[in-house]
A and B are shown apart, each in its own frame.
Chain A
Amino acid sequence: DAGVTQSPTHLIKTRGQHVTLRCSPISGHKSVSWYQQVLGQGPQFIFQYYEKEERGRGNFPDRFSARQFPNYSSELNVNALLLGDSALYLCASSLAGYTYEQYFGPGTRLTVT
């Protein structure tokens, strides 16, 4: 079975622009979570979606939004990009909620200039 896939792999954007990151979970997994990992730090939780509903939100501004589609894939949107949004964005899927192990994708490296 294919693992979690994310696209694009790398992305360079200019301050103020908007970005959409995409994630496809492992087949059969209904939960998708998004994390931001700044260089040298651990991942920070952004969102969790389960069965197309938001189940959790981390301490991120409203510029960050996400959604989950009927096929359980997900998009993370970030508006009005700031230099500080430069990071590795990780998507993880799991069978249900957090009590299960998370399967991570390779990430999208976003650079904001």
Chain B
Amino acid sequence: SQQGEEDPQALSIQEGENATMNCSYKTSINNLQWYRQNSGRGLVHLILIRSNEREKHSGRLRVTLDTSKKSSSLLITASRAADTASYFCATINAGNMLTFGGGTRLMVKP
């Protein structure tokens, strides 16, 4: 079973626009991570946010975490065609297992 669920499942935007993806999870967590996957290959770690943090930035990425709502969001600003990929949230729970959601497939049109 998958802990996190991303929303939307698919997103299509124009280059330069912002993309927002949301993730909801079910159990308490130690931290939450976001990964990117290009064309069904290996995943690339984007950002990790700990359970006691509310917001984190990395370049054009902004991640928020609301533990009371068990949700997180990933914002990509000024998107580029190269941002086209699938984005996954993954949670670490007390059992120390990394559990992924189903992913958001982002397409950025040039």
Contacts and interface: CB of A to CB of B under 8 A. Distances in A.
A84 B74 CA distance: 32
Contact of A98 (B45, B96, B100): B96
B30 A90 contact: no
Contacts of A4: 42
A106 B41 CA distance: 5
Contact of B42 (A39, A98, A107): A107
A92 B88 CA distance: 15
Interface residues of B, number: 26
B20 interface: no
Interface stretch (A11-19, A41-49, A64-72): A41-49
B96 A45 contact: no
Contacts of B103: 41-42
Given A39-B40, A90-B43, A104-B42, A45 B30 contact: no
Interface residues of A, number: 28
A104 B98 CA distance: 13
A46 B48 CA distance: 22
A103 B43 CA distance: 8
A104 B101 CA distance: 16
Interface of B: 1-2, 4, 30-31, 33, 35, 40-45, 48, 88, 90, 92, 95-103
The 5 closest A-B pairs by CB, nearest first: A42-B100, A104-B42, A101-B45, A104-B43, A106-B42
